[in-house]
Each structure stands twice: as structure tokens, then as C-alpha cells.
């Protein structure tokens, strides 16, 4: 088997992926997570998990102040170093980006905050319409436009493998529609089929937005020398402002009937004892807070720090690896969630699903698990964590380039040169055989993510 499939070189920064997944899942388990209400509920007792926007507000506030402190300390230290280095190139570059590119950075971060909130609302409202596997193709497009990344044979194979989770997702949507099961949460398109194409289109727009944002953040970190604390500082600031606006405005606006129990989970009894739903309501939250003040404070601390560390490690992935590595967090995180839910339900109920399971839940679960595993494998092939040693699929992998670099260092007739990057990646540069032709040759970069 090793003759045809082997393991690529493991980068030391891969640990950031698992740390990001850990804190992402910790947030979900604190707020309460399930899979179509078919597993044993995992949530924190007496914790107001439905107030997602208020909890995110606390997370943004912590992110802003902690990042501000770190950023100010770095600036102070940097200024002391530059006292006798008035002509520092680094300082000139920082001054340049602060004047010309700060507005663009702020707009991107505002878009990032809005996009994160919309993604959460979408997942809670239009389940199964999230074609997350398309993000690899979309992200590659923006990476190519921004960093001139080339596509090789093993990466083309990754795109082909995406067809399978795509088909599985379509089958899941069909099963949801024909089951017409009202116990299936977050499925508002059962009686409104027009929402299916609209929902898919909206999700693709969100994926495009996310891919653009992440690649631009990568560019700002690598080319404009923007630090992670500075990005998190702006992210926390604008996130706090936007969540405050949503919280205060939605407190006085009742939710549209179509979104009751989906987008809008906050409810109270009206004058005629009817249920009134809100997207968020700070008055209801503070009334509930009085009953469980200690528990709420403790679990809010866990949630806000998980919120901070998840975004911190996501930015570390983007900086030291690539935006495409950051995609790993979502299918791998969802896969671990389902496995944990299944194990806990088996231990407590002695069966895989609880009694109020929805129709076709076995098939949906299998399709989701297999789809996520297929996508994870395709990502591992794309990122060369798995190397396929047949059909010339391994010719342009890092290991093959390294071998050719060693061989070419002995031969004077080499037409290739190699750049060994700090994070362990290798760039192969086509130079040409004649020195006189170097200026006329185009230089091609292979950036392995």
C-alpha cells in the first residue's frame, strides 16, 4: 500500500488546526449542540444558550480589549527599538500601509463580522443547503488571483473528489423534502420549495465572501505586515458595535412568523398569552440572568475565551499555513461533533439515535459522515498530507521538488531553482538555462499550501 499511497511531510504548524477545531467545538458544546435533534442533547444546564448574539458580543468585547493590550505593548516595544533606526525599512512599510490600506482592511473586517453572523443564522435556518465542499474551488480561485498559485495534477484530483460529497448533499436535501418531517429542526423550506435555490445561492455568496476575506487577510499579513493582534483588535471592535446594534434594535422588533423557532429562538409570552419571538432581546436575557447569575458568568467566561482562541488560531493557520488549510477546520470539526454525539447517545441510550428521531436519519447521518470524510481526504491530497505515488500525481509535490532540488544542485545544467520557505514549504522557480535569457523569462511560482 505504501508503494501507491504515502504520508507527506507533516508541518509543525498543523497543531493550530486542531486547536482551532477544539475551541470551535467547545463553543458549540457550551451553547448546546445536536444533530437534527436525533442525539442526546449536549448543553450546559441553566445556561442561556439561545442568546447567541449577546454571547458573541461578550466574545467580541474580550477579543477587542485583550488584542488592544497586546497591540499597544508591541507598538511600545517596537518604538523603543526604532529610536536609533529612523530609516528602518520596516517602519516605512508600516507607515505606508497605515495610510493607504487601513480603510480597505477595516472594510474587509466589517464584512468578515457580518459574514460570520450570517453564516450562523443560515446554518440554524436552512439546514442541508450548505454546500461547504465548494469552498475549496472558490478559495483556490482567490488564491490564484491574489498569490498566483498554480494548480497541479494531484490538486485537480481533489476537485474531482468533491463531486461525491456534493452528490451526497443533494440526496440529503431530496430525503428532507420527501420526508416532510416537522420534527426536523431548521427546515423552513419543506413548505416553501422556492427557498431551496435561493438558499443555495445565498450560501455560495457567503462562501465567495468568506474566501475573499480570508485571502485578503492573508495578503495583509504577508505583504502589508499587519499583525494578528491588530486584526483581532479591529475584529473585536466592529464585532462589538454590530452585535450591539443588532441586540438593541431586535429587542423592539418582533420576528416574522416564517422565522419563528428558526432564526428567532428568543420568545416571551404576550398579553394574550401568545408566544412572541425575537432575533435577540437584551431585556429577556437580563431577566434570565438574575435567576442563574453565577452559572451564566462562569460559562460566559468559558465561551468568550473559546471565542477568542478560535479566531486567534484561525489567523495563525492563515498566516503560517494558508487560507486553504483553514478550510480543514469545518468538515473535521463537524465530523468530530457527530462522532462525540453518537458515542454519548450510545452510552446513555444504548442505541445510536434517541426515540424522537426524524425520518431517514440513518441515511442522512451516513451521507454526512461519508461526505465529510471524502472532503477531508480530498483536502489532504490537495495539501499533500496524503501523497499518491501513481499516474505521475506526485510529480509536483513538495517531496518530489525537494528530491529534484538535491539532484539539480549536483548538475550544472539545471533549469530549475528552488526557494525554501521558513514554514517548510518549497517554491519551484522556472529560470531557464541561459543567463542571457533570464530577464526575458517569466518566473513561475508554485506555492504549496
Question: How many other C-beta atoms lie within 10 A of the C-beta of residue 20?
Answer: 26
* Higher per-residue pLDDT: 120 or 407: 120
- Give yes or no for residue 375 having a pLDDT over 90: yes
Give the residue from 324, 329, 320 showing the smallest Cα distance to 421. 320
Cβ pair 25, 208 in contact under 8 A: no
Average pLDDT estimate for 116-123: 87
Which residue blocks in 191-227 are alpha helix, DSSP H? Answer: 195-222
What pLDDT score does 260 carry? 76
CA separation for the pair 248, 251 (Å, rounded): 5
Express each pLDDT in 217-229 by its tens digit: 999 998 888 899 9
Which residues have CB under 8 Å from 223's CB, separation 6+? Answer: none
Which cell numbers in the block locate residue 416?
Answer: 530549475
Which cell numbers in the block locate residue 326?
Answer: 483553514
CA separation for the pair 404, 394 (Å, rounded): 12
- Give yes or no for residue 424 having a pLDDT over 70: no
CA separation for the pair 48, 55 (Å, rounded): 9
Express each pLDDT in 90-108 by its tens digit: 555 555 556 678 889 999 9
Which residue blocks in 2-51 are alpha helix, DSSP H? Answer: 15-31
Which residues have CB under 8 Å from 218's CB, separation 6+? Answer: 146, 147, 318, 319, 322, 323
What pLDDT score does 78 carry? 64
Angle at 334 between CA 328 and CA 340, to 5 degrees: 130
What pLDDT score does 422 carry? 45
pLDDT band at residue 142, thresholds of 50, 70 and 90? Answer: very high
- Give yes or no for residue 49 having a pLDDT over 70: no
* Higher per-residue pLDDT: 156 or 191: 156
* Higher per-residue pLDDT: 412 or 406: 406
Which residues have CB under 8 Å from 403's CB, separation 6+? Answer: none
- Please report, for residues 158, 323, 368, 384, 424, the alpha-carbon distance to residue 387 in angstroms, rounded to integers and kept in the order given: 12, 20, 25, 6, 17
Which cell numbers in the block locate residue 88?
Answer: 528602518
* Higher per-residue pLDDT: 240 or 93: 240
Q: Is the Cα dihedral 67, 73, 77, 78 positive or negative?
A: positive
Give the residue from 100, 88, 81, 86 showing the smallest Cα distance to 223. 100
Q: Which of 78-82, 109-113, 356-360 has the highest mean pLDDT?
A: 109-113
DSSP string, 97-159: HHHHTHHHHHHHHHHHHHHHHHHHHHHHHBTT---GGGHHHHHHHHHHHHH-----HHHHHHH
pLDDT band at residue 272, thresholds of 50, 70 and 90? Answer: confident
Which residues on adjacent β-strands are paired with residue 418?
Answer: 428
Cβ pair 113, 235 in contact under 8 A: yes
- Please report, for residues 211, 340, 347, the alpha-carbon distance to residue 40 in angstroms, rounded to integers and kept in the order given: 34, 10, 10
- Mark 320-340 as b/e (b = at least 16 C-beta within 10 Å): bbbbbbbbbbbbbbbbbbbee
Give the residue from 435, 429, 438 showing the smallest Cα distance to 148. 429
Q: What percent of the chain has pLDDT over 70?
A: 81
- Give yes or no for residue 207 having a pLDDT over 90: yes
- Give yes or no for residue 89 having a pLDDT over 60: no
* Higher per-residue pLDDT: 213 or 431: 213
Q: What percent of the chain has pLDDT over 90?
A: 36
Cβ pair 442, 431 in contact under 8 A: no
What pLDDT score does 248 carry? 93
Angle at 209 between CA 329 and CA 24, to 5 degrees: 25
The helix/strand/coil state of 430 is strand
- Please report, for residues 155, 189, 205, 427, 444, the alpha-carbon distance to residue 150 in angstroms, rounded to integers and kept in the order given: 10, 40, 24, 11, 9
Which residues have CB under 8 Å from 185's CB, separation 6+? Answer: 36, 37, 127, 262
Average pLDDT estimate for 65-89: 70
Cβ pair 157, 125 in contact under 8 A: no
Average pLDDT estimate for 37-61: 79
* Higher per-residue pLDDT: 446 or 123: 123
What pLDDT score does 417 carry? 52
pLDDT band at residue 80, thresholds of 50, 70 and 90? Answer: low
Express each pLDDT in 158-198 by its tens digit: 999 999 999 999 998 888 888 766 666 556 777 777 888 88
CA separation for the pair 335, 171 (Å, rounded): 19
Angle at 407 between CA 406 and CA 408, to 5 degrees: 95
Amino acid at each position: 500500500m505504501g508503494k501507491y499511497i504515502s504520508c507527506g511531510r507533516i508541518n509543525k504548524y498543523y497543531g493550530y488546526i486542531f486547536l482551532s477545531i477544539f475551541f470551535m467545538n467547545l463553543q458549540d458544546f457550551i451553547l448546546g449542540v445536536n444533530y437534527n435533534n436525533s442525539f442526546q442533547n449536549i448543553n450546559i444546564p441553566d445556561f442561556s444558550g439561545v442568546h447567541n448574539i449577546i454571547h458573541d458580543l461578550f466574545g467580541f468585547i474580550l477579543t477587542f480589549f485583550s488584542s488592544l493590550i497586546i497591540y499597544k505593548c508591541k507598538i511600545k516595544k517596537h518604538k523603543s527599538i526604532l529610536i536609533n533606526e529612523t530609516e528602518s525599512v520596516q517602519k516605512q512599510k508600516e507607515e505606508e500601509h497605515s495610510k493607504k490600506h487601513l480603510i480597505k482592511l477595516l472594510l474587509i473586517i466589517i464584512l468578515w463580522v457580518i459574514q460570520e453572523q450570517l453564516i450562523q443564522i443560515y446554518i440554524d435556518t436552512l439546514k442541508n443547503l450548505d454546500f461547504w465542499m465548494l469552498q475549496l474551488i472558490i478559495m483556490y480561485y482567490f488564491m490564484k488571483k491574489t498569490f498566483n498559485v498554480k494548480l497541479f495534477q494531484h490538486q485537480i484530483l481533489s476537485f474531482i473528489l468533491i463531486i461525491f460529497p456534493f452528490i451526497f448533499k443533494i440526496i440529503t436535501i431530496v430525503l428532507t423534502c420527501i420526508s416532510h418531517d416537522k420534527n426536523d429542526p431548521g427546515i423552513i423550506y419543506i413548505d416553501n420549495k422556492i427557498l431551496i435555490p435561493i438558499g443555495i445561492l445565498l450560501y455560495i455568496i457567503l462562501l465567495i465572501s468568506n474566501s475573499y476575506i480570508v485571502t485578503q487577510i492573508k495578503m495583509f499579513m504577508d505583504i502589508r505586515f499587519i499583525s494578528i493582534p491588530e486584526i483581532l483588535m479591529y475584529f473585536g471592535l466592529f464585532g462589538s458595535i454590530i452585535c450591539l446594534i443588532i441586540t438593541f434594535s431586535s429587542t423592539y422588533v418582533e420576528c416574522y412568523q416564517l422565522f419563528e423557532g428558526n432564526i428567532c429562538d428568543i420568545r416571551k409570552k404576550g398579553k394574550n398569552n401568545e408566544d412572541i419571538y425575537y432575533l435577540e432581546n437584551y431585556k429577556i436575557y437580563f431577566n434570565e440572568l438574575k435567576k442563574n447569575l453565577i452559572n451564566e458568568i462562569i460559562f460566559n467566561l468559558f465561551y468568550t475565551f473559546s471565542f477568542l482562541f478560535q479566531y486567534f488560531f484561525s489567523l495563525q493557520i492563515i498566516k503560517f499555513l494558508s487560507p486553504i488549510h483553514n478550510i480543514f477546520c469545518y468538515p473535521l470539526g463537524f465530523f468530530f461533533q457527530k462522532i462525540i454525539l453518537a458515542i454519548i447517545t450510545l452510552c446513555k441510550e444504548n442505541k445510536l439515535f434517541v426515540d424522537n428521531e426524524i425520518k431517514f436519519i440513518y441515511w442522512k447521518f451516513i451521507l454526512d459522515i461519508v461526505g465529510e470524510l471524502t472532503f477531508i481526504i480530498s483536502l489532504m491530497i490537495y495539501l499533500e498530507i496524503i501523497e499518491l505515488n501513481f499516474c505521475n500525481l506526485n510529480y509536483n509535490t513538495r517531496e518530489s521538488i525537494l528530491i529534484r532540488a538535491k539532484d539539480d544542485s549536483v548538475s550544472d545544467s539545471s533549469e530549475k531553482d528552488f526557494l525554501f520557505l521558513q514554514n517548510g514549504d518549497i517554491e519551484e522557480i522556472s529560470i531557464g538555462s541561459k543567463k542571457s535569457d533570464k530577464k526575458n523569462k517569466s518566473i513561475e511560482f508554485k506555492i504549496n499550501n
